[in-house]
Amino acid sequence: MTKKGKKEFKRENCDTTRHKIPPRGERGAQNARAKRERQRERKTERERERERETETERDNNRVCYYLSIERERERETMTMMMSAASSHQQALSVTAIRRNNVRASTSSKNNLQCYHHRSKTTTTATTRTIVRASSSSSSSPTATEAKAASSDNEWKKLGQVCAVLGSQWGDEGKGKLVDILAREYEVVCRCQGGANAGHTIYDDDGKKYALHLVPSGILNKKALCVVGNGVVVHLPGMFEELDALEKVGVDCAGRMIVSDRAHLLFELHKEVDGLREAELSGNMIGTTKRGIGPAYASKATRNGIRVGDIKNMETFAEKLRALAADAGKRFDGFEYDVDAEIERYGKIRERILPFIADTVEIVNQAHTDKKKILVEGANATMLDLDFGTYPFVTSSNPSLGGVCSGLGLAPNKFETIIGVAKAYTTRVGSGPYPTELFGDLADDLRAIGYEYGTTTGRPRRIGWLDMVALNFASKINGFTHLNITKLDCLSELDEIKIGVAYKLQDGTVTTAFPASIEELEKVEVVYETLPGWKSDISGVRDWKDMPENAKKYVQRVEELSGGVECRFIGVGPGRDAIVIKP
C-alpha cells in the first residue's frame, strides 16, 4: 500500500468521536494548553505546602545557627571581660583588635555571610561586653538598674495612643521600637499593608523573630494583637507564621484578632502580581510579588473578598469564582485552580472563625476604657501611595491618614507619633533615590548593617540620610519624636554626609520634595559633611557616654528637622541597645 493509501486508510478507520484530528495550528495550541496543564498538575498543592515548610525550616535553622554562634561569642567575651575588668587599657586593646577584624572582614567580598556575623555579632555583642567591662569600675549594678528604671519611665511618659511610623523607604527598624513599647501597651495594632512588611525583633534572650503579618506585640503576653481593616490578609501565610511562633514557644492562643472588614489576599493575587511585573518589563516597580497590589486593586474595584465573607462559604465561593474569572479575562497566561482554592479555604474556615472580630468597636472601646494602644506602621511614608515616589510605591497609605482609616481610630486620639529613621537610608526595589551611594562604601555599609530584606532577602540600596525626604514625612505625619536607628553602623567612617537640600535643573535650591520622579531623578543633592567619631558605640547606653561627634550628628539632625526631638537612638539590634537623649 502506498503512503497516500495508508494515510487515507488511517483517516477512514479512525474513530472520529474519540480521535478528532484538528488542523495543524489548532493542534499546536492544544498541545501548548496540555503542556501548561501538565506543568500545573506537577505543582500540586502538597508540593507548594512542602516548599513553604522547607523555606520556613531553612529560615529557622539559619536563625538557630546565628544564635548558637552568638552564644558562643558571648561565652568567649565573658572570659575576656574578666581579664579586661582588671585593666582598662587591656580592654581598649581588645576592642581595637576586634575593630581591625571587622575592617579586615569588610575587604572580603566573597564571604558576606561570614562578614555579617562578625560585624553584627562581634561589634554588637563582643565589643559591647568589653566596653561594659572597661567601665565596670565606675558603673555599679545599682547604677545599671537605675538606668533601666529610667528607660522604663521614659516609655511610660508616651501618650495613651502611640503610632510608630517609617519615615523613609521602609526597613528603618520599626519592629524593635514597637517590641520595646509593646511591653507598656495593652493593644498592639497593624493597620495597613500585608505580608510584604518584614519586621525583625529580638526577645530578652537575644532570640530573633522575623514577622511579616503578625503584629510585633505578639511577644508581650499581656498584649492583644489586632490586624485592622486596612490590612490585606493571606490566611495560609498568617497561620504559618503563628505556627512557627508556637513552635519556638511563643503562646499565641487567644491573643490575636483579625478585622472582619479586612480584605483577603489569595494565590491568584500573587499570580497576577507576577504577570503584571512581567508586563512592565524594563519599567518594573520591584514589588515583593506577594500579591499586595492586586489585593488592594480588588478592594478598589469592589470585587474583593473580606475576612467576614468566609462565614458563608456559599457566597464566598461565588465571589472567588467571579474574582478568578475577572483575572482570567485580563491576563492571557493566568492559571488558577479556583475549585482547589475554595476547598482549601473551606478547611481554613474553622480555624479563622475564632479570630474574626469587629476591631473598630474593640479598639475604640479600648480607648474609652483608657487602655494604652500602640499602632505599628508597615512600609514607610516615602512608599505611600499618595505621597511617595509614585509609581514606585506600595499599594496602601503607611502615613498617619492610613493609620486612621486602617483602624477606624480618629486622628484626635493620637497623642504620640514617632517617626523611625535610619542614620543613613536604604531602599529596596526600583525608583528614584537622590542620596544613593555606590561602590565600596555602599557595599561596606550594606554588610555592616546587614541590609537585606526581611521578606525577600534582596540586597537593599544604600544612601546618606536625606533630610528633604525626612522633613517631608514629618510634615505629613506630624511627628512628635524621632527614633534614629543604626547609628552604630556609621562608627568606622571618617566623615558622614547629610543631604540638606536639592538643586534642581534650573539651578534653584529647594528643601521641598518634588512630586515628579523625572525631576527627582535629576536633582543634585546639597550635602553637609560632619566628622565621624571613629569609635564603637554599640555598648553605649547613656547619652553622656556617647562620643562628642556622635552627639553632634544627632543634634544636627534634630536642628535640620525643625526641632523634632531625636529622643531615641538605636546603637544595635538588641532590645537594650538604645540610648535615650535627655
- In the residue annotation, 171 being an active-site residue is answered as yes
DSSP string, 280-327: HGGG-----SSSHHHHHHHHHTT---BGGGGGSHHHHHHHHHHHHHHH
Active-site residue, selected from the candidate residues 116, 117, 171, 234? 171
**To 5 degrees, how large is the angle CA 195–CA 201–CA 207?**
120
- Is the Cβ–Cβ distance between 228 and 190 less than 8 Å? yes
DSSP string, 25-65: HHHHHHHHHHHHHHHHHHS-HHHHHHHHHHHHHHHHHHHHH
Active-site residue, selected from the candidate residues 116, 117, 179, 199? 199
- The backbone torsions φ and ψ at residue 26, rounded to the nearest 5 degrees and listed phi first, read -65, -35
User: Which three three-digit cell numbers place residue 273?
Assistant: 502580581
DSSP string, 507-543: S-EE-SPPS-HHHHHH-EEEEEEEE---S--TT--SG
**To 5 degrees, how large is the angle CA 266–CA 269–CA 270?**
100
Residue 582's Cα: distance from chain center in Å? 29
Strands 465-466 and 373-376: unpaired
Residue that has been written with the C-alpha cell 500585608 in this structure: 194
Cβ neighbourhood burial of 289 (10 Å; 0-12, 13-18, 19+): middle
- Is the Cβ–Cβ distance between 422 and 173 less than 8 Å? yes
- Is the Cβ–Cβ distance between 462 and 384 less than 8 Å? no
Strands 578-580 and 565-570: antiparallel
Residue that has been written with the C-alpha cell 519586621 in this structure: 199
- Is the Cβ–Cβ distance between 259 and 360 less than 8 Å? yes
- In the residue annotation, 199 being an active-site residue is answered as yes
Separation between Cα atoms, residue 254 and residue 245, nearest integer Å: 14
DSSP string, 194-249: -TT--EEEE-TT--EEEESSS-GGGGSTTPEEEE-TTBEE-HHHHHHHHHHHHHTT
Separation between Cα atoms, residue 164 and residue 378, nearest integer Å: 9
Strands 208-211 and 199-202: antiparallel
Helix 292-300 vs helix 267-280: crossing angle, to nearest 10:
100
- Is the Cβ–Cβ distance between 175 and 200 less than 8 Å? yes
Separation between Cα atoms, residue 194 and residue 394, nearest integer Å: 10
Catalytic residues: 171, 199
